[in-house]
A = this chain, B = another copy of it.
Amino acid sequence: MESVVFKPIGVLHTPFRQREGTPRQAAGAQAYTAVLEVFEDYQEGLKDVEGFSHLVVLFYLHRVERADLIACPPWDDKPHGVFATCSPFRPNPIGVSVVRLEKREGRFLTIRGVDMLDGSPVLDIKPYVPDLYPRENVLVGWMTGKVSGMTGSRTGEK
């Protein structure tokens, strides 16, 4: 298969116009809200989302202009393969964020936990079901003991 083509179903309106200062992870960005606008053609697909407190948002990291295979996270001192990191500079820059759904007004969702740049195209929205995510016997390799540094940091900061 040569390539896969997707058409955005919506767009994110967030407080972050530039990469510097944008939180690196939704889990570390609970202070920020954004509006996820679903385009009119897809509004019907939102039926019953308001019953969920959290949603998984897949979005296109539209400002990423290069793909690295090796990434050097600013909160670590060693290079790692990009697939072992959360670096946005990856071959297919798709963000996956678990956000809190604060409010739905028609096709506009107010969400909390925002690590997305303003204008990011939305590819998909899925219900967040915690039972689908393992909690025990999980090893996080080189990130062991460093996750709090990741969730708290912003781009441009060490």
**Residues of A at under 8 Å CB distance from B?**
1-9, 25-27, 38, 42, 44-56, 58, 60, 62, 69-70, 79-86, 90-92, 94, 96, 98, 100, 121, 123-135, 137-143, 147-148, 150-151
* Nearest B residue to A9, CB-CB: B91
Q: Give every chain B residue within 8 A of A147 (Cβ-Cβ).
A: 129, 131-132
What secondary structure prevails in chain A residues at the interface with B?
Answer: mixed
Question: Given A52-B84, A52-B140, A70-B45 in contact, is the A4-B5 Cβ separation under 8 Å?
Answer: yes
* A84 and B3 contact, CB distance less than 8 A: no
Question: Given A126-B86, A138-B53 in contact, is the A1-B6 Cβ separation under 8 Å?
Answer: no
When the two chains form the complex, which single residue of B46, B53, B81 contacts A84, counting CB atoms closer than 8 Å?
Answer: B46
29 residue pairs bridging A and B, Cβ less than 8 Å apart: A1-B8, A1-B121, A3-B8, A5-B5, A6-B94, A9-B91, A27-B132, A27-B134, A42-B83, A47-B70, A48-B81, A49-B83, A51-B139, A51-B140, A52-B84, A52-B140, A54-B138, A54-B139, A58-B94, A83-B124, A83-B125, A85-B127, A90-B124, A92-B123, A92-B124, A128-B133, A129-B143, A130-B140, A132-B151
